[in-house]
Amino acid sequence: MRVVVQRVSEASVTINNNIVSSIQNGLLVLLGITNDDDKNDIEWLCKKIANLRIFSDHSGVMNQSLLDVNGELLIVSQFTLYAKTKKGNRPSYIEAAKTEVSKPLYEAFISYAGQLLGKEVKTGVFGAQMKVSLTNNGPVTIIIDSKNRE
């Protein structure tokens, strides 16, 4: 699994000119899933995201987590995170998991994240054409890959 985590002061997902999800102060997570992802990837990534110390403390130092600030979480599926651009100019998405694999993992990711946070997790709509708006606070953007745990 691969995620792009963005610390936001606000974020929303719009489909057909209707806002379907929105958050204030929290994290927007773009989630890409590949064929060999499983429950271990979900658990590791969700724990990492919930505990990343990327929110400012009273001294202005990034020392608090999403859990510490009681922030909100918006998760949006994004298969393009597995784009391969080595050959030519048209990206290949061969490494992105097909819907029958990725959708159940996406749903399990959302469920586990909600359990860790003890609150509802907001989402996009799997497979839909979405417009994602955000105000990146910082800016803070972090890329994490569960297969490259550095």
Any domain includes 104: yes
Q: What is the DSSP letter of 84?
A: B
Q: Which pLDDT belongs to residue 149? A: 81
Any domain includes 9: yes
Residues known to be catalytic: 78-80
Any domain includes 49: yes
More confidently predicted of 134 and 149: 134
Q: Hey, is 74 helix, strand or coil?
A: strand
User: What is the C-alpha separation between 126 and 33, in angstroms, rounded?
Assistant: 12
Taking only the tens place, the pLDDT of each residue in 62-113 is 999 999 999 999 999 999 999 999 999 999 999 999 999 999 999 999 999 9
Count CB neighbours of 70 within 10 A: 11
As a whole number, the mean pLDDT across the chain is: 96
Taking only the tens place, the pLDDT of each residue in 21-59 is 999 999 999 999 999 999 999 999 999 999 999 999 999
Tokens of 31: 């989630």
Residue 150 has pLDDT above 90, yes or no: no
Any domain includes 150: no
User: What is the C-alpha separation between 116 and 50, in angstroms, rounded?
Assistant: 7
User: What is the C-alpha separation between 131 and 116, in angstroms, rounded?
Assistant: 27
Domain boundaries, position 108? 2-145
Q: How confident is the model at residue 12 (pLDDT cuts 50, 70, 90)?
A: very high
Any domain includes 110: yes
Any domain includes 99: yes
Any domain includes 22: yes
Q: Which pLDDT belongs to residue 142? A: 97
CATH number at residue 80: 3.50.80.10
